[in-house]
């Protein structure tokens, strides 16, 4: 799983936690998963701070998962 994948999974786990408020044990599990995936997404994003031309595809993947529109509709 890449950084954007971890970001998306963290969001999914947070949503599942919010939908399971009647079961505190499930909420705790989903929140724990969300924290792990958010941490891994953060590590991947931090690793991109030394931006190189070969990471353009990674940058676009981050934009897509964060919902940033691509200029000219470019969404490869």
Distance CA 43, CA 31 (A): 18
73 pLDDT tier (thresholds 50, 70, 90):
low
Percent with pLDDT over 90 in the chain: 45
19: tokens are 């939908």
Which position has the higher pLDDT, 4 or 35? 35
Answer whether 9's CB lies under 8 Å from 66's CB. Answer: no
58 DSSP assignment: H
Average pLDDT value for residue range 12-25: 92
pLDDT of residue 62: 75
CA dist 72 and 76 (Å) reads 11
Residues 31-65: pLDDT tens digits?
Answer: 999 999 999 999 888 777 665 556 666 777 777 87
């Amino acid at each position: 799983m890449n950084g954007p994948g971890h970001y998306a999974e963290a969001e999914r786990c947070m949503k599942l936690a919010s939908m399971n408020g009647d079961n505190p044990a499930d909420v705790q599990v989903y929140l724990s998963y969300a924290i792990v995936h958010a941490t891994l997404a953060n590590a991947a994003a931090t690793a991109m701070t030394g931006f190189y031309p070969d990471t353009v595809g990674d940058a676009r993947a981050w934009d897509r998962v964060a919902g940033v529109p691509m200029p000219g509709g470019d969404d490869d």
